[in-house]
């Protein structure tokens, strides 16, 4: 055959191959609720897993050019050019990595599954990928870390799971680029669809084909503007088509609502929510969720980060999460040599020692039937024809009387879980409460488990809970807690006095207008139960508000009216109550309608540093008669370096004497960027505000 003819045949072959039909799309994976529950069963029973963040970023160990606050985001937080970051590859040689030792430590800690970063945002892969040279096989180590770890986990009976970043700062087709990359790494010619089809999906096929059965695919990096729900649903279906029984987190889609990790309303893809660095305050009934938590302040290894949570805090956190029906995914950031930090090893051993004795109170349990308990937490489990309440006692009673409030069910046997003999404890009833006589000393100084057996599902009295809806000139109060039969009543007053058995019963919504103070309380058989809830309608209740800067579309609650609707946001910033300002300030003016005497002005704000939400660095209050000329009546300035000082829901008030005005101006200054020492140093900071109360 002539050369020209041969070239023609080769060219024709190339054309034929390039025109070959693409691989058919995966079939839609559907399942019944029963099938879904069966797929989720092992994960729901596990309750405790290990997260491992490991990659090239372990080499700088948190430090870059004198700054020591970096970790797995170091390429972005230090703005390292790609060519310079790639030089870490020939330095990655974790000769002390021992997969068997890692798996053994996870198992001994009481963990049931391991989630490791197959690829983090920097794009470096810890496995032998045929799709890239930017992987461990290009390093001096040249060993498939995921293969060794998956084999070791299988031997220990642990489920192997992958964390895989959708976001990729290394691949030429991934979009968007970081703004600081534009000079040396422009986006010209990049194609996200090609990245998904020709790189992301083929790598996921490798991860689900070459390592046996995978428990969870834990996605991340979905918050970028280029990702959307259609892409998420397609990726979810693709992975389920490869391994139908696999579990996928909600970060595969665009439905996650910030670091609280919960999926917004709607049919978004994903099997469980992913709260990050936080535990939902009241749990999430009917929702599968898993809190991912670091032992210190960073995910990847940072040799300067010594802010370690204590073993006590971690054990009680595990109990708290289980008591709310969730899982704990506890992180370890190995060193560049392949070792777990000694502080992590110490804490894993302490948790494991506790779990060896008390694991029954964690594995396979359901959420507590109690809203709160004064001495600790509770988990429950149906077992051996009984329902067992596992009472997690953090504060052992010196009186030796452990009171279980509001338990209406007839109690059965009780014993200390650590007691191999299950010696019975004396149980008695006092009205609505059950009392257990416990030993003099706590069996465990951190969390002692007392088991209380019941013959049926627990019937528990709950403190009255109220819903509030803002109106044009006040607030509508309604009862939201469950009513347990005719003996359970909720009574209220609107004059500030405490409710009594003779106070009006709350059977429907009550409208409150200024000035009024609502107090509500539950009664069972005419005996008060639980705390009194107090709701005050201030001068600002329902009054109009104007904003100079609009809130973010992502966190705009009910708009400006949110600031005077009488509804206070919780520590969960995704609860729909907060106005979120990304790198902008609050500047709000409240119109009282007519001049009034003002005693105080209060602003409620949130601090959630794990979600990049910081306290305002300055708050100013001013008043005006005409809405144009304002005079300052109070202010506070905070040192920006004190950003670690506050957490949760906070209030700042100023007390006034003899001030009279119609318009009230409240201004709060955003810190602007995440400060030095924060894991997201240099990133855009948020200011979250809610109620403005003028009295």
Q: Are residues 98 and 230 in the same domain?
A: yes
Q: Which range marks the domain in which residue 164 is found?
A: 33-361
**285 vs 39: CA distance, rounded Å:** 19
Helix (H) and strand (E) counts in the chain: 11, 29
pLDDT computed for residue 8 by the predictor = 36
| Degrees to nearest 5, angle at CA 474 with 473 and 479 | 150
Model pLDDT, residue 264 = 57
What is the pLDDT, as a whole number, of residue 638? 86
Q: Is 123 a residue whose pLDDT tops 90? A: yes
Higher-scoring residue by pLDDT: 260, 311:
311
Full strand arrangement of the beta sheet holding 466-470: 466-470, 474-479, 510-513
pLDDT (average), residues 9-28: 40
Model pLDDT, residue 570: 80
pLDDT higher than 80, residue 473: no
> What's the average model confidence in pLDDT over 81-101?
97
For residues 298 and 421, what is the distance between their CA atoms, to the nearest angstrom?
A: 43
pLDDT of residue 19: 36
Whether the CA torsion 412, 414, 417, 422 is positive or negative: it is: negative
Same domain for 355 and 317: yes
Q: Are residues 137 and 213 in the same domain?
A: yes
* pLDDT band (50, 70, 90) for residue 256: confident
Is residue 8 one of the residues assigned to a domain? no
Of 476, 508, 537, the position where a domain reaches its end is: 537
Does 165 share its domain with 233? yes
* Residue 483: per-residue pLDDT: 66
Lookup: tokens for 184: 């040396």
Question: In terms of domains, do 436 and 382 share one?
Answer: yes
Query: 9 pLDDT band (50/70/90 cuts)?
Result: very low
| 169 and 278 within one domain | yes
Residue 395 CA to residue 448 CA, distance in Å, equals: 9
Question: Which among 537, 555, 584 is the end of a domain?
Answer: 537
Residue 12 lies in a domain: no
For residues 512 and 605, what is the distance between their CA atoms, to the nearest angstrom?
24
Radius of gyration of the chain (CA): 29
Residue 288's beta-bridge partner residues?
none
> Is pLDDT above 50 for 608?
yes
pLDDT of 138 higher than 60: yes
Is the model's pLDDT at 540 over the cut of 60? yes
| 373 neighbors 433 (Cβ within 8 angstroms) | no
- pLDDT score for 384: 86
Q: How many domains does the chain have?
A: 4
Residue 96: pLDDT band with limits 50, 70, 90: very high
pLDDT in tens, 646-669: 888 999 888 888 799 999 999 999
> Is 609 contained in some domain?
yes
Query: Residue 267: its pLDDT value, please?
Result: 64
> What CATH number is attached to the domain comprising 677?
2.60.120.1190
Q: Are residues 447 and 471 in the same domain?
A: no
Q: What is the pLDDT of residue 610?
A: 77
Residues 6+ apart with CB under 8 A from 582: 552, 684, 685, 686
| pLDDT over threshold 80, residue 263 | no
Who has greater pLDDT, 671 or 20? 671
- Residues 278-292, mean pLDDT to the nearest whole number: 87
**Does the residue 25 lie in any domain?**
no
**Mean pLDDT across the stretch 231-256?**
94
pLDDT at 22 over 80: no
| Domain match, 527 and 565 both | no
In a domain, 120, yes or no: yes
Quick check: is 24 in a domain? no
pLDDT higher than 70, residue 149:
yes
Report the candidate in 209, 75, 58 with the shortest Cα–Cα distance to residue 129: 209
Is 680 or 42 the better-scoring residue by pLDDT?
42
208 in Cβ contact with 214 (< 8 Å): yes
Whether residue 324 is found in the same domain as residue 404: no
- pLDDT over threshold 90, residue 471: no
Once rounded to an integer, what is the mean pLDDT over residues 137-151? 98
- Residue 11 within any structural domain of the chain: no
Q: Same domain for 275 and 139?
A: yes
**Better-scored residue on pLDDT, 679 or 227:** 227
- CATH code for the domain of 437: 2.60.40.1180
pLDDT grade for 1, boundaries at 50, 70 and 90: very low
Candidates 471, 509, 670, 489; CA nearest to 579 is: 670
Q: Which of 361, 394, 427 is the last residue of a domain?
A: 361
Q: Extract the tokens encoding 329.
A: 């995914």
pLDDT in tens, 178-195: 888 888 889 999 999 999
Look at 120-129, 385-394, 467-476, 527-536 and tell me which has the smallest mean pLDDT. 467-476
How confident is the model at residue 539, as a pLDDT? 86
Using a cut of 0.85, tell me whether the model's pTM lies above it.
no
Q: Is residue 98 part of a domain?
A: yes
Q: Based on the domain organization, do 381 and 246 belong to the same domain?
A: no
Predicted local confidence at residue 258, as pLDDT: 65
SS3 per residue for 105-118: HHHHCCCCEEEEEE
Task: State the CATH number of the domain containing residue 285.
Answer: 3.20.20.80
Mean residue pLDDT of the chain comes to 90
- Please compute the mean of the pLDDT values over residues 338-342 and round it to a whole number: 98
- Give yes or no: residues 573 and 625 share one domain: yes
Nearest Cα neighbor of 151 from 221, 213, 243 is 213
Residue 472 pLDDT exceeds 90? no
pLDDT band at 422 (very low <50, low <70, confident <90, very high): very high
Token look-up 């949760």 returns 648
**Structure confidence at residue 251 (pLDDT):** 95
């Amino acid at each position: 055959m002539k050369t020209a003819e041969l070239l023609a045949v080769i060219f024709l072959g190339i054309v034929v191959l390039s025109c070959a039909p693409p691989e058919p799309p995966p079939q839609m994976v559907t399942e019944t609720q029963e099938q879904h529950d069966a797929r989720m069963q092992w994960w729901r029973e596990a309750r405790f897993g290990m997260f491992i963040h490991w990659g090239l970023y372990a080499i700088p160990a948190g430090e870059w050019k004198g700054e020591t606050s970096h970790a797995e985001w170091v390429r972005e937080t230090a703005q390292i050019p790609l060519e310079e970051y790639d030089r870490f590859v020939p330095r990655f040689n974790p000769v002390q990595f021992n997969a068997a030792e890692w798996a053994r430590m996870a198992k001994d800690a009481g963990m049931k599954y391991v989630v490791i970063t197959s690829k983090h945002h920097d794009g470096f892969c810890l496995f032998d990928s045929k799709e890239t040279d930017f992987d461990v096989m290009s390093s001096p180590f040249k060993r498939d870390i995921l293969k060794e770890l998956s084999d070791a986990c299988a031997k220990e009976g642990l489920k192997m799971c992958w964390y895989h970043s959708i976001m990729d700062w290394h691949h030429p087709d991934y979009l968007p680029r970081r703004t600081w990359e534009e000079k040396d790494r422009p986006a010209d010619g990049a194609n996200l669809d090609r990245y998904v089809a020709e790189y992301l999906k083929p790598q996921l096929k490798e991860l689900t084909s070459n390592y046996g059965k995978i428990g969870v695919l834990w996605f991340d990096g979905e918050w970028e503007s280029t990702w959307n729900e259609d892409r998420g649903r397609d990726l979810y279906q693709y992975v389920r088509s490869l391994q139908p029984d696999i579990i996928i987190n909600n970060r595969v889609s665009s439905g996650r609502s910030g670091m609280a990790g919960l999926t917004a309303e709607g049919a978004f893809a994903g099997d469980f929510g992913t709260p990050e660095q936080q535990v939902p305050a009241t749990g999430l009934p009917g929702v599968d969720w898993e809190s991912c938590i670091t032992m210190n302040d960073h995910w990847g290894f940072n040799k300067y980060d010594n802010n370690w949570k204590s073993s006590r805090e971690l054990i009680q956190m595990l109990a708290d999460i289980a008591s709310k029906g969730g899982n704990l995914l506890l992180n370890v950031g190995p060193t560049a040599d392949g070792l777990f930090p000694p502080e992590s090893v110490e804490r894993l051993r302490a948790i494991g020692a506790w779990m060896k004795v008390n694991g029954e109170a964690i594995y396979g349990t359901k959420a507590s039937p109690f809203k709160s308990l004064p001495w600790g937490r509770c988990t429950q489990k149906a077992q051996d024809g009984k329902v067992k309440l596992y009472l997690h006692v953090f504060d052992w009673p010196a009186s030796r009387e452990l009171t279980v409030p509001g338990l209406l069910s007839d109690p059965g046997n009780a014993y200390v879980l650590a007691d191999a003999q299950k010696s019975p404890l004396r149980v008695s009833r006092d009205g609505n409460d059950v009392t257990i006589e416990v030993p003099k000393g706590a069996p465990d100084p951190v969390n002692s488990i007392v088991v209380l057996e019941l013959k049926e599902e627990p019937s528990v009295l709950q403190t009255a809970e109220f819903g509030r809806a803002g109106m044009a000139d006040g607030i509508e109060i309604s009862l939201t807690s469950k009513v347990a039969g005719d003996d359970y009543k909720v009574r209220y007053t609107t004059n500030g006095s405490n409710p009594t058995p003779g106070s009006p019963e709350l059977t429907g919504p009550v409208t409150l207008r200024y000035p009024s103070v609502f107090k509500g309380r539950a009664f069972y058989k005419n005996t008060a139960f639980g705390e009194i809830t107090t709701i005050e309608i201030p001068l600002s209740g329902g009054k109009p508000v104007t904003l100079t800067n609009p809130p973010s579309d992502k966190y705009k609650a009910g708009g400006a009216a949110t600031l005077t609707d009488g509804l206070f946001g919780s520590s969960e910033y995704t609860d729909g109550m907060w106005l979120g300002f990304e790198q902008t300030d609050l500047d709000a003016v409240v119109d009282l309608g007519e001049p009034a005497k003002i005693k105080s002005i209060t602003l409620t704000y949130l601090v959630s540093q794990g979600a990049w939400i910081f306290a305002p660095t300055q708050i100013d209050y001013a008043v005006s008669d005409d809405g144009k000329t304002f005079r300052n009546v109070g202010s506070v300035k905070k040192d920006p370096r004190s950003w670690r000082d506050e957490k949760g829901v906070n209030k700042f008030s100023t007390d006034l004497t003899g001030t009279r005005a119609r318009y009230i101006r409240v201004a709060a200054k955003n810190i602007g960027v995440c400060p030095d020492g924060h894991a997201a140093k240099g990133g855009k900071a948020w200011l979250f505000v809610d109620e403005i109360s003028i009295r």
